[in-house]
A and B are shown apart, each in its own frame.
Chain A
């Protein structure tokens, strides 16, 4: 978490309270962070198996783990040089167990929810001041983190595994019809969750876990997620005590097959394990490719910047459309907003609609401080960045097209 972002976020939250009109002036804070950036997540994983402690789901989680670690990451020709790394429970060691869980979850590309019936037993009695050390609250912390990770990163996916009831005396699991509302309500008891329930210990633990990663901490949104629910930081009604989404909203998102299509864990134990592992491996392979393309996109971005620099040098004195015009526009817009607001209480009111920290940390007068392009990606206000990202992440764009400046110009004009 950088100091600049923290100050900007505090300002945004004060503005939401509709009281006074706080301002922030700063210089040179962007490079320095309170904690992070971490260079590497210890115990990086591909798959995180999320299950409630003390239930029979642990047995399934272990079997899935044992099978998955024998399988290669890639299905076809994609990086089959190593096997899948799986996390299903913390181990004894120097790192705190909660940190092990947080690190494994943040690094995984596929988060598997093991959901047998009764997973959320006791949820109807959950209180807002519930302690964070219960098995249910610890599970819900992971659900909250998983939802944020999905919203933040396109290379992270959640796969709910609905575990059928075990037939007595046999190693066979019943089939689950996930279109059957009655049956689904036994797996996802959304109806039993108190309205407006937010558990402070869950929010704290989830935020602490997410903020172990510098990039995640910097980019936690304070707006609605793409699944239609508020983010963990969002203040939906301007009341800070009601920040973030409710437990009910979180469960509803995961219950919705439109958001996360479940896989049914049924049949004989062996068949069910193998079927689930195959499904997970497919997801891992797919997400692995996405992540790889993302990395290629980053190097592509680097090449673009080099090109832009040389292009700017070549065309000094001439007006040209630069490949980073979108970024520049966004930056200019941030400065303009800020300059228009300082010193005028009436115009400052307009600024209230902009809760982006990126738009708060600007310079005064002599321009000692700058708004970094990276700032624009924080919460909102980064239209230019978004355009650039879409472009750079496009796998069909061949690297040699970097030199095709007209095509870049067309892109920047939105053609």
Chain B
């Protein structure tokens, strides 16, 4: 289970991050910087909901003084979807009933809310983009099902507690399980790998 956090700095020209050394492309006229996934803070196997929140807070705290262009959070791990909410399940979560979800897991609404409260609300820049990639199951085990029959709800983060510019990428569809993959080989989620591919063009610039 990984929680990976990255901030792309607000430079006019961006370069694909150099994963190994972290240096910018020396050929580029003008300085350009980008912190890529390999350089980014990484929280492996967060034990509890509190540790997930703490990792996020520690990540965004230094960004207040140097607001980035893009904030990227990817989560690879156990997940549960209950109607319009996706829950990031910490490593030590012990779920036995529906109420445990909200108590022990971090919902994606809370995640976006935290990003807004801890960063967007504290900076004056309004065009920071918050991208969250959730590479996890969207399946609700039977024993956690709620008695109330609710409507199928969308995943749009709560309006009052989400950043202005946001994107939520999920690796799989509602009601389905995500591929486990091989944790040791997983440097980042498939979605992020595609984003960073040459063909996609995200962060790709002047690579020769």
Contacts and interface: CB of A to CB of B under 8 A. Distances in A.
12 contacts: A3-B131, A6-B200, A9-B200, A13-B200, A20-B176, A23-B155, A25-B168, A25-B170, A95-B29, A96-B206, A343-B152, A366-B159
Given A240-B199, A342-B174, A207 B153 contact: no
A154 B132 CA distance: 39
Interface stretch (A26-34, A46-54, A250-258, A387-395): A26-34
A20 B172 contact: yes
Interface in B134-183: 152-156, 159, 164-176, 178-179
Interface stretch (A160-168, A197-205, A301-309, A322-330): A197-205
Contacts of A63: none
A72 interface: no
A13 to B, nearest CB: 5
B19 interface: no
B167 A211 contact: no
Question: How many A residues are at the interface, by size bracket?
Answer: 35 or more
Task: Tell which of A10, A217, A244 has the most Cβ of chain B within 10 Å.
Answer: A10
Contacts of A96: 27-29, 206
A3 B154 CA distance: 22
Contact of B208 (A29, A98, A348, A363): A98
A14 interface: yes
A205 B154 contact: no
Given A11-B169, A24-B167, A24-B168, A201 B208 contact: yes
A123 interface: no
B204 interface: yes
A27 B13 CA distance: 24
A211 B31 CA distance: 19
B169 A7 contact: yes
Contacts of A368: 156, 159
A25 B202 CA distance: 17
B186 to A, nearest CB: 14
Contact of B203 (A13, A23, A34, A240): A34
B202 A35 contact: no
A377 interface: no
A217 B191 contact: no
Interface string A210-223: 01000001001010
Given A3-B70, A205-B208, A23 B200 contact: no
Given A21-B172, A368-B159, A35 B200 contact: no
B172 A3 contact: no
A34 B202 contact: yes
Contacts of A365: 153-154, 156
Contacts of A7: 131, 167, 169, 195, 202
A28 B205 contact: no
Given A26-B166, A26-B168, A366 B156 contact: yes
B121 interface: no
Contact of A243 (B13, B195, B199): B199
Contacts of A3: 70, 129, 131, 167, 202
A27 B179 contact: no
Interface in A342-368: 342-345, 348, 363-366, 368
A233 B199 CA distance: 6
A35 B167 contact: no
Interface of B: 8, 12-14, 27-29, 69-70, 127, 129, 131, 152-156, 159, 164-176, 178-179, 190-191, 194-195, 197-208
A203 B208 CA distance: 9
Nearest to A351: B173
Contacts of B176: 20-21, 345
Contacts of A21: 172-173, 176
B172 A22 contact: yes
Given A9-B201, A20-B171, A35-B205, A364 B154 contact: yes
Nearest to B175: A345
Task: Tell which of B165, B194, B200 has the most Cβ of chain A within 10 Å.
Answer: B200
A244 B8 CA distance: 28
Given A32-B165, A204-B207, A342 B195 contact: no
Contacts of A364: 154-156
Given A19-B179, A233-B199, A363-B156, A4 B208 contact: no
Contact of A94 (B29, B170, B172): B29
B167 A204 contact: no
Contact of B173 (A4, A23, A35): A23
Given A6-B195, A343-B174, A364-B154, A208 B169 contact: no
Nearest to B12: A35
A244 B199 CA distance: 9
Nearest to A232: B199
Contacts of B191: 10-11, 14, 22
A257 B61 CA distance: 61
Contacts of B203: 34
A363 B168 CA distance: 11
B173 A343 contact: yes
A156 interface: no
A19 B176 CA distance: 12
Contacts of A23: 155, 169-170, 173
A1 B201 contact: yes
